[in-house]
Amino acid sequence: MKKIAVILSGSGVFDGSEIHEAVLALFAIEQQGACWHCFAPNIDQHQVINHLNGEVSHEIRNVLVESARIARGNISDVATLNINDYDALLVPGGFGVANNLSDFARHGSACQLNEDVKQACQAFAHANKPAAYLCIAPTLIPQIYGPGAKATIGNDPDTASAFNAMGGEHIQCPVDDFVLDQKRRLLTTPAYMLATNISEAATGINKLVQELIKLA
């Protein structure tokens, strides 16, 4: 059975992992006859958002603890991720990618990645194991794969421009499809960068996961 490592960034679209994307991806992995284990950095969130009113809360929350809500406890510190135990990687989107796994939300193309997350993702890249990034998560790709990596974040011009400025090659893609960088065994899909509901997000995610498991 293929084993997929999934890196989460918290719990909630505005300050963590996009929950619908994460759950759809985990479900799709199981539907393809594979299994998953989640990981997240053991750090404080950059900020906490009240998802009822969109306002910033003054709470302090831990990314690993919050991510465990989605994983139902089937989760470990990303610093312990051993790629020899896994066949592929998947990273859902959500603003936690841009605020917790990196500081892209604050610094754009000059962003830095969390070091443990960067090392884990680069380990899959260096081992030529397939990896998938959803929604805003492809903003991590240029610092993981280097110049020329092909990916999509949908069609948002500012995010695409920042992706290209970091050395990536952005490709516009509809919500129900995915982009495959064959050379790097790298898959991306827009998900909620374009999706207006769960069903739309599922169309591209399901296709992407099916291809990810094939490559694995």
Domains delineated in the chain: 3-215 (3.40.50.880)
- pLDDT for 33 equals 98
Q: What is the amino acid identity at position 179?
A: V
Q: For the whole prediction, is pTM greater than 0.95? A: yes
Share of the chain above pLDDT 90, in %: 99
Closest CA to 35 of 1, 71, 75: 1
Q: Which residues pair with 188 in a beta bridge?
A: 133, 179
Question: What are the residues whose beta carbons fall under 8 Å from the beta carbon of 98, sequence distance 6 or more?
Answer: 104, 105, 111, 136, 139
Q: pLDDT-derived band of residue 113, with 50, 70 and 90 as boundaries?
A: very high
Q: DSSP letters of 192-213?
A: GGT-SSHHHHHHHHHHHHHHHH
**Catalytic residue (one of 38, 111, 121, 135):** 135
Known active-site residue 135: yes
Q: Tell me how far apart the alpha carbons of residues 154 and 194 are, in angstroms, rounded to a whole number.
A: 6
Q: pLDDT category, 48, cuts 50, 70, 90?
A: very high
